[in-house]
Structure 1
Amino acid sequence: MTTFVDRVELHVAAGNGGHGCASVHREKFKPLGGPDGGNGGDGGSVVLTVDAQVTTLLEYHHSPKRKATNGKPGAGGNRTGALGQDLVLFVPDGTVVLDRQGNVLADLVGHGTSFVAAQGGRGGLGNAALSSARRKAPGFALLGEPGEFRDIVMELKSVADVALVGYPSAGKSSLISVLSAAKPKIADYPFTTLIPNLGVVTAGDTVYTIADVPGLIPGASQGRGLGLEFLRHVERCSVLVHVLDCATLEPGRDPLTDLETIEAELAEYGGLGDRPRLVALNKIDVPDGQDIADLTRASLEERGYRVFEVSAASRKGLRELSFAMAQIVGEARAAKPLEESTRIVLRPTAVDDEGFTITEEDGAFRIRGVKPERWVRQTDFSNDEAVGYLADRLARLGIEDKLWKVGAHEGDTVIIGAEENAVVFDWEPTMAAGAEMLGRRGEDHRMETQRPAVDRRREKQKGRDAAEAEYLAFEALSSGRQASIEGDDEDS
């Protein structure tokens, strides 16, 4: 059964933002009191956080799909939707986050270090937030943005000061068991160690960690044996200790040959050439072990190695080896600052950055940019007023003018967004300039059909007054004509 996992592929999905609400305030004697639609809540994000108590990625090996909660939609009465909850995933110290192409996204070292693996979607604005002096009663709201979806790879690189490397059954597990309180599995057959073992060693005033890396064999850097799976655990170590078997019975093997083979694999893996090396000639307590150590010691020292003759069984030479490792670890720590200040990376926008790009592809014009693509995702295309609002935003950004400059004509195909989620339409310049075809955008048409009762009573009273005035004028005119006729009769 799998108990240690140091590499997993994780599928993370952030929560979607809640939709904004298009609502009109209503109460007695004020049935249309203005827009009061609330904003939608932001979706939850997926956050990776280092926890010192977590030592393996086993949990994510069994359940690789993780999703944060969605934000709630807004409601009338200026009520904002609830925020989605962030999903916090705890990972071991030393976890490296990569995308599927192998690009490093984050290197998580240190308890509490966090990285947002998937950003939650923004909540849409309600019509109350969209109202202005020109747009007093918007009849639409913005949609919430979908949350980010990512496929990421997490690799665990043990944060140890010293790495023990060597052939299988060279005695690495035995050494770590007597140098520290670690209790790794020890047996007399190759590849006994299937996972890296960590131990804490105290040498004088220096306390450091030591890692027992599973045995390396020729071709390990290309995937042979177990070496490739665990060579990444050597990358963070300050010191490499070659554990050479002085009692091997395999033909064609001796301490010098083993050293050359392991160094060739480390060089092939890359990135480890600057690490200090120590050599531990192990198993000098067995027959002929001391003789082989004496024969090879001079050759190793000529190559510039510090050599220690040790025995895990009799514990001979272990004190000198542990203090030598502590010395190099102390020097490595002194070379680094005790506390690294937080680095803020500033990436200012270029002076000539328009916020979007337009490229011609097979007779069509594709628009890419953070703002136009986000605006498209927020638009409800079933609402004419919302479409007109989008057209005005795009025109203010300068997209209409840029389309003219790149040679676009009315009726040409325009694409906004990437291939997988693009919006395609035929370009109509008049719509971008003002969308006159959509009518009086910025006004709620319900204002025309559902006017307040007071206004309706006033109009009825005006009608009655006009009718009465007309009647009185008619009566006056009739009376004048009658008097004129009677006067004429008298004169005659």
Structure 2
Amino acid sequence: MTTFVDRVELHVAAGNGGHGCASVHREKFKPLGGPDGGNGGRGGDVTLVVDQAVTTLLEYHHSPHRKATNGQPGAGDNRSGKDGQDLVLNVPDGTVVLDKEGNVLADLVGQGTTFVAGQGGRGGLGNAALSSARRKAPGFALLGEPGEARDIVLELKTVADVALVGYPSAGKSSLISVLSAAKPKIADYPFTTLVPNLGVVTAGSTVYTIADVPGLIPGASQGRGLGLEFLRHVERCSVLVHVLDTATLESDRDPVTDLDIIEEELRQYGGLEDRPRIVILNKVDIPDGQDLADMIRPDLEERGYQVFEVSAVARLGLKELSFALAGIVGEARAAKPQEEATRVVIRPKAVDDAGFTVVYDEAEDVYRVRGEKPERWVRQTDFNNDEAVGYLADRLNRLGVEDRLMKAGARAGDGVAIGSLENAVVFDWEPSMMAGAEMLGRRGEDHRLEAPRPAAQRRRDRDAERDDAQREFDEFDPF
């Protein structure tokens, strides 16, 4: 049964905002006491939080769909809806959040680090909040916005100071078991270790963490075996330690060749060239192992490696190794640039930034309006209520959408789409739109609301208008 998972695909959905309420206050002798509809509650967020007590992503492997609660709708008597409850997901230290395309969204390192994976929807305003001197008793309210829903990938990259790398059965698990209090599984067959093991080592006044990375084989950087899953846990380590088996029973292997193969895999994986490296010759308590260590040590030192001869079983050379690693870790920490204090960067908008764009889409024969405000206003509009649609038109007009459409060459009857290609509201544009309650007839009616014509019909109507204009010009005789 799987007990350790370091990569999962998570489907998160934030809560939807509650709808606003359209209500009129009523009591005895006061049948129309004014609008009193409350606002809808905010939808809950989905937030990832680093918890060092969590060491695996196993929980999300079994339950990959997570959703926060929705906000409650508003009610009469100016009662606002209850906000949705935020959903907090605890993740291990060192979790990287990516989107479906592999782009990094967040790198969560350090206890308490947070990332909002899904933003809850805003609650809709009730008609009490929408009332004004011009619109004293709105007969509509705004809808709550849908919460953000998306698919993300969580990858766990072990956070440690030292990484032990090497072939399977080189003795990495045995080393970490005697250097620290960790108790990994140890056996005399390859790939005993299938998940990284972490241990804490104290050497004098220095405390550092050491990771036992599962065994690597040729082709690991291309995904052979579980190479990519293993190499991922090496990225954050400050020091790389090659553990070489000097008493291997395989006749076609020798420690120097093992070192060269693992170094080639690390090179192909990339990003590890600047990490300091040392070499451990393990199992020197065996006579043949000591003889082989004496033979290859000069060659390794000539290459520039610092070499230690140890035996995890006999506990030989461990104290010297522990203090040497503490010194290298201390140097790596000192060389690491210190994190600057968090600064607030203010980036004011350009004076000519309207917050939206208008682009003509030839394929659909519509003028497409894109922008945060117009698209959010469309999501908040109840298109079953003509008065709400009129309010949307007023907002768009004040934002300057009509002026931009005119500058873009739009004419009466042209199609206008607000939103993306997949989810847009399309209508026929009337450039003579006025804003305000004067556009309303009977309560709840607005003659700006008409069914949009298909693109082909718009083209035919435009061609007919052009032909009529040309005919009038041809028939006109000034003499």
Whether TM-score is above 0.5 comes out as yes
Task: Give deviations 1:15-39, integer Å, cap 9, x for gaps.
Answer: 0000001111111111101111110
**DSSP-derived class of the 1:49 partner:** strand
1:41-93 per-residue CA deviation (whole Å, 9 max, x = no partner) reads 00001011111111110000000000000000011111100000000011111
Q: Distance in 2 between matches of 1:345 and 1:300?
A: 50
- Is the Cα contact below 8 Å between 1:39 and 1:74 reproduced in 2? yes
Give the C-alpha shift of residue 419 in structure 1.
2.0
User: Secondary structure of the residue that 1:423 maps to in structure 2?
Assistant: strand
Shift of 1:442: 10
| Alpha-carbon distance in 1 for matches of 2:434, 2:252 | 79
Taking the TM superposition and a 5 Å limit, the aligned residue runs for 1:401-440 are 401-431=403-433, 433=435, 437-439=439-441
**TM-score between the two structures when normalised by the length of structure 1:** 0.87
Matches within 5 A, 1:302-381: 302-336=302-336, 340-362=340-362, 363-381=365-383
Q: Do the aligned partners of 2:41 and 2:83 also contact (CA within 8 Å) in 1? A: yes
What is the deviation of 1:345? Answer: 4.5
Are 2:209 and 1:204 aligned?
no
SS of structure 2 residue aligned to 1:122: coil
Query: For the Cα contact (< 8 Å) 2:386–2:445, is it kept in 1?
Result: no
Matched residue type, 1:28? K
Give the equivalent residue in structure 2 for 1:10. 10
Q: Work out which of the two has the higher radius of gyration on C-alpha atoms and give 1 or 2.
A: 1
Q: What is aligned with 1:266? A: 266
- 1-side partners of 2:245 and 2:348: how far apart? 57
Q: Is the 8 A contact 1:400 1:432 kept in 2?
A: no
Higher helix share: 1
Give 1:84-99 correspondences, 5 Å limit. 84-99=84-99
Would the aligned equivalents of 1:55 and 1:93 in 2 still touch at CA under 8 Å? Answer: yes
User: Structure 1's 4 and 381: CA in aligned 2 closer, same or farther, altered over 3 A?
Assistant: same
User: Residues of 2 paired with 1:313 and 1:186: CA distance?
Assistant: 11
Query: Is residue 2:18 matched to residue 1:41?
Result: no
SS at 1:267 equivalent: helix
Change (3 A) 1:245 1:383: same
CA contact (8 A) 2:134 2:436 kept: no
Query: Which residue in the other structure is 2:152 paired with?
Result: 152
**Equivalent residue number for residue 190 of structure 2:** 190
**Where does the alignment leave 5 or more consecutive residues of structure 1 unmatched?**
445-492
Matched residue type, 2:150: R
Which residue of structure 2 lines up, in the alignment, with residue 66 of structure 1? 66
Distance 2:94 2:17 in 1: 32
TM-score by length of 2: 0.90
Post-superposition offset of 1:441: 7.9
Cα separation, partners in 2 of 1:177 and 1:206, compared to 1, 3 Å: same
Q: Distance in 2 between matches of 1:45 and 1:7?
A: 23
Does residue 1:391 correspond to 2:362, yes or no?
Answer: no
Give the 5 Å matches for 1:268-307. Answer: 268-307=268-307
Q: CA deviation at 1:344?
A: 3.4
What SS does the corresponding residue of 1:326 show, helix, strand or coil?
helix
Give the Cα–Cα distance (whole angstroms) in 2 for the partners of residues 258 and 269 of structure 1. Answer: 17
* Alpha-carbon distance between aligned partners in 1 of 2:348 and 2:102, rounded to the nearest angstrom: 27
CA contact (8 A) 1:137 1:443 kept: no
The alpha carbon displacement at 1:197 in A equals 0.5
CA-atom RMSD, angstroms?
A: 1.8
Deviation at 1:346, TM superposition (A): 3.9
> 3-state DSSP class of the match of 2:11?
strand
CA drift of 1:372 comes to 0.1
Instruction: Say if 2:107 is the partner of 1:104.
Output: no
Q: Which amino acid aligns with 1:39?
A: N
SS at match of 1:60: helix
Decide whether the 8 Å contact of 2:135 with 2:437 is kept in 1: no
Query: 2-side partners of 1:20 and 1:366: how far apart?
Result: 28
Contact map agreement 1:243 1:281 (CA 8 A) in 2: yes
Aligned positions of 1:129-168 closer than 5 A: 129-168=129-168
Shift of 1:440: 7.4
Query: SS of the residue aligned with 2:262?
Result: helix
Instruction: From the superposition, tell whether residues 241 and 169 of structure 1 become closer, same or farther in structure 2 (CA, over 3 Å).
Output: same
**Distance in 2, Cα, partners of 1:226 & 1:443:** 65
Alpha carbons 1:394, 1:432 under 8 Å: kept: no
Partner of 2:256: helix, strand, or coil?
helix
Distance 1:41 1:307, change over 3 A: same
Given that 1:139 and 1:443 are in contact with CA atoms closer than 8 Å, whether structure 2 keeps it comes out as no
1:349, distance to aligned residue in structure 2 (A): 2.4
Q: Which amino acid in structure 2 is aligned with residue 312 of structure 1?
A: A
Q: SS of the counterpart of 1:295?
A: helix
| Preserved CA contact (<8 Å) 1:12 1:118 | yes
Residue 222 of structure 1 pairs with residue 189 of structure 2:
no
Instruction: Count residues in correspondence.
Output: 444
The percent of aligned pairs where both chains have the same amino acid is 82
Using the alignment, how far apart are the partners of 1:192 and 1:62 within structure 2? 24
Counterparts of 1:338 and 1:52 in 2: how far apart (Å)? 22
Report the Cα distance in structure 1 between the residues aligned to 2:23 and 2:382, rounded to whole angstroms. 15
